[in-house]
Amino acid sequence: RDAMVKINDRHEFPPTIDLGDFLSEDADRSQPWTYVLHGVLVHSGDLHSGHYFGLLRPTIEDVWYRFDDDRVVPVAPGEVFEEYYGGDLAVPGARGRPAVKRFTNAYMLVYIREALRDDVLGGEAPVPAHLLRRVQEDRAEEERRQREREELATTVPVKVVSDAQFSRHQAFDLSYFDQRQPADNALFVERMPRDMPLRAFIAHYAARTGQAPDSFRLWIMVGRVNKTVRCEAPLVGATMDLTLAQVLENRMPRWTELRLYCEPRTATSPADFLENKPSSRLSMVHAKFFDTALYQMRGVGSLYVQADQHVRDIIPELRALAGLSPQTPITLYEEVKPALVEEMNTALTFQSAEIQSGDIICFQITDADALRVPAFFDEVQHRISVRFVPRTPRADEEYGSTGSTPEPAPLVLTASSKTPYDQVAQWLAERVDMHDPLKLRFYTVSPTGQPRQAVRRTPTAALADMLPNAMFIQPALNSEGLQEFTVMYERLEVDIVQIESMRSIRVTYVGRTMRDETVLDVLVPKAGSVKALMEATYAKVDQLLRAQRGADVQPLSLRYYEVGCHRITNILTGDELMSSICTTGLTEIVAELCTSDMLPTSAIDTDSSRHVEVFHFYRGLTHAHSLPFMFAILPNEVWSDTWERLQRKLGMSEM
């Protein structure tokens, strides 16, 4: 076939060459014209792909090095020649077998005149300052990584949550232990030596937080099967002599970090607070109060309950923790697991309610009209931060606002991803000074920041439908620990309800030559015939040509056809139904300008010509590409004239 190929035939090259025989008679021969090989540039692969590397001899000595990306290794002088001559590689002892094809060979040689080698090589050249700085930075970075590796092997991350963080935590559990934890409510986080005794860590933690070592005790936190992280048992007694690594391995061997809760000592704490664990019939539970007026959840502390004690017995203590009056009615809920918060039956005992140490009880003032704790947690679980940025419509799009009003700066909405579409549109319309929220259209955004498909407004559409698929993007977290997304919006001249009753068809308009292509987005009713598409396309093409040429535009004659896989699949007459075209997403519509200058004068206004499809292909007929078109074949026309018309249609110069 007529195609470029890489030649891998054997081409030998000598270590030295004498060019004296090729000089003119009056050339300077005071020094020999012998050249010595000092560089071989090699390509391994074929015409379309491969790998480049170099073999260099940097000094007069016959010592060679292979420079291959970031690796520099010495090579034997013999390898420089035979290995890279190219050609087939004979297999020893394999008589009758074909030789092995080789695709690695030299493509450029560097020779230095032997008499001038000392001047060219120049001895030891000073290393540039920027290279020295780069080497020093690389060494410093490698040392830093080595220290990090050693630190990872000899230390363990310790995270401690106290009532200070618990009181400001708005979500599930006592706190977050990852990037979702807000920066203004940070936990105590330090890497500590793995062999550090727990007793020593308590002293260290007390000093760092300004507490007395006997004013608190630490609880080990574990992960439960229901995906919660809760307190399990206080670290007292003999546990104090264990190392941090032993504490972690005994309780949560699969975790890479030690999570602890700091329980403060109070006036009601037992005398053996630091020595013994609570009895098996006594459980420590945490309490959260949901303030419906402030729409805020806050931790109010912890309390101990007996297994045979009724749930209603702690209501007075809960009121006191929240600062409520003794007569205030409250409703209690248990945080069972994420997305499951159940109202508690206060007539049950804590044993019957299956309450154990580390469980969390939420409560709120009883109010039939107020938001309930489960709804609040659902909103918090789906809460995200969304930046709304304007999208500039293309000039060929219909119904996009073309005014010169400057667009506002990006707007940020913090809300649940379940927020209804209309509520989001109303919120944005109020901030961009639009009276009708239905004249806003939203677009999902690709990871590169480009708008993707428009978001459809349906009865069940929500803010989540405006976000990119979680499979293709990993959102960043803001300072509040919320996932950040970007959504584009566009102002419309007509409301989105009318637009969504229409169908957007992408039409490629082809002018006098196949090089004259313009892509148009045409909106037509979903129901009806293709004639409506033809009329709308005609109007857009006429508008396009008038913008290019002014008012001097003759009536147009357009031919329409449907193209799939770079072949014409259907010539449209206008009687087809809109539902029958472009149904698979693999076809497109082409509107071709019919011009009389493509035919000789004698052929115009005659029916003697016939049209054939012309399409482009590479190598084989199955490798079609570009747009096909219809071409007139005239009877009695000589081939040279046909070829000239075809060249004009393709926009090609004479060949």
What CATH number does the domain containing 259 carry? 3.10.20.90
Mean of pLDDT values over 89-103: 62
Provide mean pLDDT across the span 115-129. Answer: 82
Residue 13 pLDDT exceeds 80: yes
Count of domains forming the chain: 5
Residue 4 included in any domain: no
**pLDDT band with cut points at 50, 70 and 90 for residue 33:** very high
421 or 522, greater pLDDT: 421
User: What CA–CA distance (Å, rounded) separates 248 from 196?
Assistant: 12
* Choice between 90 and 124, residue whose per-residue pLDDT is larger: 124
| Range of weakest confidence among 107-111, 450-454, 602-606 | 602-606
Nearest residue to 289 via CA among 280, 277, 276, 301: 301
On whether the CB atoms of residues 566 and 616 are closer than 8 A, the answer is: yes
Indicate whether 157 and 295 sit together in one domain: no
Shared domain for 207 and 294, answered yes or no, is no
110 in Cβ contact with 80 (< 8 Å): no
Per residue in 553-611, pLDDT (tens digit) is: 677 889 999 999 999 999 999 999 988 888 767 889 999 988 765 555 444 444 556 88
Amino acid, res. 640: S
Per-residue pLDDT tens digits for 216-234: 999 999 999 989 999 999 9
Which is nearest to 432 in space by CA: 489, 494, 392, 393?
Answer: 489
Per-residue pLDDT, 551: 63
Helix (H, G, I), strand (E, B) or coil at 308: coil
In a domain, 387, yes or no: no
Q: Are residues 82 and 159 in the same domain?
A: no
Give me the amino acid identity at 579.
Answer: S
**For residue 85, what pLDDT is reported?**
86
pLDDT at residue 653 in the model = 67
Q: Which residues of 585-607 are buried (b: 16+ CB within 10 A; e: fewer)?
A: eebbbbbbbeeeebbeeebeeee
- CB contact set of 166 (below 8 Å; sequence gap of 6+): 174, 175, 286, 299
Identify whether residues 598 and 642 lie together within a single domain.
yes
Tokens of 123: 């001895």
Per-residue model confidence as pLDDT tens digits over 395-405? 556 555 555 45
Instruction: Enter the tokens of residue 300.
Output: 């109010």
> What residues have CB less than 8 Å from 327, skipping those under 6 apart?
none
Domain of residue 369, residue span? 278-381
In 449-543, the DSSP E strands lie at 451-454, 484-491, 502-510, 517-525
Q: What is the pLDDT of residue 605?
A: 46
pLDDT computed for residue 602 by the predictor: 47
2 is a domain residue: no
Q: Where are the beta strands (DSSP E) in 203-320?
A: 216-223, 229-234, 258-264, 282-291, 296-306
Given 232, 249, 274, the domain boundary residue is: 274
Same structural domain, 517 and 578: yes
Residue 211 pLDDT greater than 60, yes or no: yes
Please state, in angstroms and as integers, the Cα–Cα distance from residue 585 to each residue in 287, 521, 630, following that order.
56, 15, 23
Lowest mean pLDDT of 87-96, 360-369, 422-431, 432-441, name the range. Answer: 87-96
Q: Averaging pLDDT over each range in 32-36, 57-61, 99-103, which range is the top one?
A: 32-36
Strands (E), 155-228: 155-161, 188-193, 216-223
Whole-model pTM: value is: 0.64
Do 234 and 270 fall within a single domain?
yes
Q: How do residues 49-64 score in pLDDT, each as one tens digit?
A: 889 999 999 988 999 9
Pair 177, 293 in one domain: no
> pLDDT for 289-335, tens place per residue?
999 999 999 999 999 999 999 999 999 999 999 999 999 999 999 99
Helix 244-251 and helix 198-209, axial crossing angle in degrees, nearest 10:
110
Question: With contact defined as beta carbons under 8 Å apart, do 86 and 106 qualify?
Answer: yes
Pairing of strands 502-510, 587-593: parallel
Look at residue 1 and tell me if it is in a domain. no
132 and 267 part of one domain: yes
Residues 549 and 411 in one domain: no
Q: Which pairing describes strands 620-633 and 610-618: parallel, antiparallel, or unpaired?
A: antiparallel
Q: Name the average pLDDT for the chain.
A: 88
Q: Same structural domain for residues 241 and 305?
A: no
Structure tokens at 357: 């140490």
**Do residues 249 and 283 both lie within one domain?**
no
Euclidean distance between CA atoms 445 and 486, whole angstroms:
7
Residue 132 and residue 238 in one domain? yes
pLDDT given at position 90? 60
R_g over Cα of the chain: 39
Q: Please, are residues 260 and 174 in contact by the beta-carbon 8 Å criterion?
A: no
Residue 444 has a CB neighbour count (10 Å cut-off) of 19
Supply the pLDDT for residue 338: 86
Is 5 domain-assigned? no
